[in-house]
Structure 1
């Protein structure tokens, strides 16, 4: 049998398909992602061009991968990489890991800071081209065996579905290393720390990291709330001080999404005592709310969930301010609850919001929301091409008072579209709300408030 002729006829059969059909077939292969699909890129140059774009779009690295990373990823391939997930794997815990008194490991501090330093040194040599997202995670295989049982530390499954870091970065490895390019990382435009990083983040270290990105346009930050209110005040002050003193949020930043998860949402997590700080880091008048409110003047998209309430954000906004860039704003408020005693406060909050929105000429989406187990609600102001609306969506009904309606009608009247009339909508949520993740899902908030993979994790953790 002439196998060479058979092979030639098969090749001719593939080439005989129109280019559009061949691309559709290759797109199906990349979508299904059967085991070994990436190796098909070696079949021919046509397959390589299509499959490598998907195969290299998002890559996952460990510290051990960095030694050969520069050799494997040629300068030609760098342009097709859009997302780097960098995972620092820590050693397994010792038998005393669950004791209440334990000191941080110096070895761990060098592993984390050393891994970050090495990756930054590599990325500093990359020529800025396409948008590049850098996502950092630190974890131990023992996490699911001790403090964080029955949780999701990876988001691999969400890619196919429909639906903490040591506080010692300030020591060990030097941050100011001009020779190795630590100061300037121009290739990265998006920086992500998701909730699956459940270790304590040094705010000083975070500030140092953010200040090293020269072209950063998007930050997605999902920290965990401290256990105690007194520690929250200390932590918020530390963040505010770090962002203020180090100018960590660059002028290039356009989109900032902050989602603060909390152990109070989860019954199975152990309640651990929090240390009480013995001094204040920052004057309350220059606290986190003031820093974020001030930074909002330069942003196009801003979402802050649970870290500060909308009331605090509004209180820090000055009457002379004008948001000439802001297009989307989403905030949470603990006032939004099915409690008749809070109705007057909610009315004041919504009227105050309308006054601020009038100073945002480019805004098309404004959201106030709240959610948790068994409850969810959102006040949504939305400008579409030919309509403007206010929607109340939730598990409970809020009758908008005439004062609130009049206030938002005034906001609409200031738009450069005199023909638009404010539409009032009311939508009831019937779904079961098992967690704050379910609340976000059913509220269908029209702007990003959390990373999709994190939402996937929360909803499944809430069902376990």
Structure 2
């Protein structure tokens, strides 16, 4: 005979309030794909889950239409917006394919920035809001730079075994043999990864009053010239803090930081320089310039 188990449902409202809160915290912490829908169950769940659901938004350009139409009542809940701009796939000299798609990068970046700023220009200042920018192509980790991390929130700190690396990273024509980098990337590949992303911003870029912090992390390998950064910051008049983690220690960035920090009410401004250690894929951040401290 098959043994049957009778499951008795315990009424949710009979649970103590602190127990219900612990359960909802656990649900929100698991970050399952559909966990955000739980906020629609009832007002109690909405009050707890919705602030966590909207506090940090990781967006791509394809998500911006939804940001404009869906996030209206929840705008005061948003504390951090990270826009990761999808750059087109590209080829390399080793692959011997047409690389015309990479020349679209500046246009794609400018269009995404203009769209985001146009949306945020309609937001009223309600508190602190951080704007983080990043950009990456699927090809970045498919050619020479297989051990690099691209895009926000994708730093891989796991210690892979040599056998796992040999399976994941075996591509002799791009310098990888059985998980080991046996050949240094050629200069064109390095230039492509760290080349300037954009030379200027759209002249029609609107002013955004809602943003109070600006951030570019080391996952963005492409360079943004000081003139581009300054043009972006001029459209963010309520900036209180700026963090920029760059890969080239140029004097022009130090001069920009000094000038901008002197003539604008910035309480925190830090520029960090990424330096690789013997570990290889996790750089050390050296502070080149700093004003104030985050509370």
TM norm structure 1: 0.47
Aligned: 1:191 with 2:182: no
1:3-31 deviation per Cα after TM superposition (whole angstroms, max 9, x unaligned): xxxxxx968x2112333332222112112
- The structural deviation recorded for 1:108 is 1.2
Q: Secondary structure at the match of 2:92?
A: coil
In structure 2, distance between residues paired with 1:142 and 1:52:
35
* 1:174 aligned residue: 202
**Correspondence list, 1:250-269, <5 A:** 251-262=264-275, 265=277
Q: Which of 274, 281, 288 is equivalent to 1:307? A: 288
- Deviation (angstroms), 1:254: 0.8
Is the counterpart of residue 221 in structure 1 residue 249 in structure 2? Answer: no
Higher relative contact order (CA 8 A, sep 6+): 2
How many equivalent residue pairs? 248
Task: Tell me: CA distance 1:29–1:151, structure 2 relative to 1, closer, same or farther (3 Å).
Answer: same
Note if 1:143 corresponds to 2:140.
yes
CA–CA distance in 2 between the matches of 1:69 and 1:256? 28
Deviation string, structure 1 residues 176-205 (Cα, Å, up to 9, x no partner): x2xxxx342111111110000011222211
Aligned partner (choices 103, 128, 133) of residue 130 of structure 2? 133
Report what 2:110 is aligned to.
113
Alpha carbons of structure 1 residues 120 and 39: separation in structure 2 relative to 1, 3 Å: same
- State the alpha-carbon separation in 1 of the partners of residues 50 and 94 from structure 2: 43
Which of 5, 30, 33 matches 2:31?
A: 33
Please say if 1:210 is aligned against 2:233: yes
* Pair 1:97–1:260, CA change in 2 (3 A): farther
Where in structure 2 are there 5+ consecutive unaligned residues?
A: 1-7, 159-193
Q: Is the CA contact 1:195–1:222 (under 8 Å) kept in the aligned structure 2?
A: yes
* 8 Å contact kept, 2:242–2:269: yes
* 2:66 equivalent to 1:68: yes
Cα 1:249–1:174 change in 2 (3 A) is farther
Q: State how far apart, in whole Å, the 1-side matches of 2:273 and 2:255 are.
A: 18
Superposed CA deviations along residues 372-426 of structure 1, whole A, max 9, x for unmatched, are xxxxxxxxxxxxxxxxxxxxxxxxxxxxxxxxxxxxxxxxxxxxxxxxxxxxxxx
Is there any run of 5+ residues in structure 1 with no aligned partner, and where? Answer: 1-8, 226-231, 270-303, 314-325, 329-446, 449-464
Instruction: State the partner residue of 2:253.
Output: 239
Aligned residue for 1:188, secondary structure, equals coil
Match of 1:23 in 2: 21
SS at match of 2:110: helix
2: CA distance, partners of 1:216 / 1:26:
34
What residue in structure 1 maps to residue 184 of structure 2?
none
